Amino acid sequence: MDELKERILRDGQVLEGNILKVDAFLNHQVDSGLMKRVGEEFARRFARLKPDKILTAEISGIAPALQTGVALDVPVVFARKMRPITMPKDAFERHVPSRTKGGETLLLVSPEYLHPKERVVIIDDFLATGQTLNALANIVVEARAQVLAFGVVVEKTFEHGREALEDWNVPLESLVVIERMSSKKIVFR
């Protein structure tokens, strides 16, 4: 997606620890027009799979997942990272290490909104090591629903998330793929 590449080159910033800061259009400020086109692009790639639902993780997955849900006219579930008092005790949960915040992140999905046999596409902002997507996919399986595909806005190949998700044997679509990056240069595939 050329528009996204140009935007990353213009506004992205590479920070220590292989963090790509895209707070200008995705993670803190959201460019709503760009995000609409991101959702439409995911919808174009996933429509043939006929998903019933999009699953993502709060917080930064919400914008691209919601726009995909709007484009495909299906509901979007975002896994919560803190247990709200509205969450039932039998929620599906997984722990994943968090790099941008440090420590571990909890992912919680209520069985009220993820049902057996539902056809689920999992979307997130970044694919780095793949641990968040893997945890979300495990939640889908625990709900006896079906993982149809993964979609990420930005894939960083040098963190090997794609390999980590290979065993799921489902399509993995990235809107842009970064092969190398440093504070001076970002190299797309």
Minimum distance from residue 147 beta carbon to a second copy (Å)? 18
Minimum distance from residue 162 beta carbon to a second copy (Å)? 24
53-57 and 119-127 as β-strands: parallel, antiparallel, unpaired? parallel
- Alpha-carbon distance of 117 to 94, in angstroms, equals 20
Among residues 16 and 167, whose Cβ is nearest to a second copy?
Answer: 16
Minimum distance from residue 152 beta carbon to a second copy (Å)? 18
Applying CB under 8 A, which residues contact a second copy?
A: 13, 15, 17, 19, 21, 23-25, 27-33, 35-36, 58-59, 62-63, 66-67, 69-70, 73-78, 80, 82, 84-87, 100-101, 109-110, 112-113
SS3 144: coil
Q: Phi and psi dihedrals of 26, rounded to 5?
A: -135, -45
Place of tokens 């595939």: 189
Minimum distance from residue 98 beta carbon to a second copy (Å)? 10
Among residues 87 and 177, whose Cβ is nearest to a second copy?
Answer: 87
Within 8 A by CB and 6+ apart from 97, the residues are 103, 104, 105, 131
Cis peptide before 54 (omega within 30 of 0): no
Minimum distance from residue 99 beta carbon to a second copy (Å)? 9
Among residues 22 and 165, whose Cβ is nearest to a second copy?
Answer: 22
CA 77, 82, 86, 87 torsion: positive or negative?
A: positive
Among residues 8 and 165, whose Cβ is nearest to a second copy?
Answer: 8
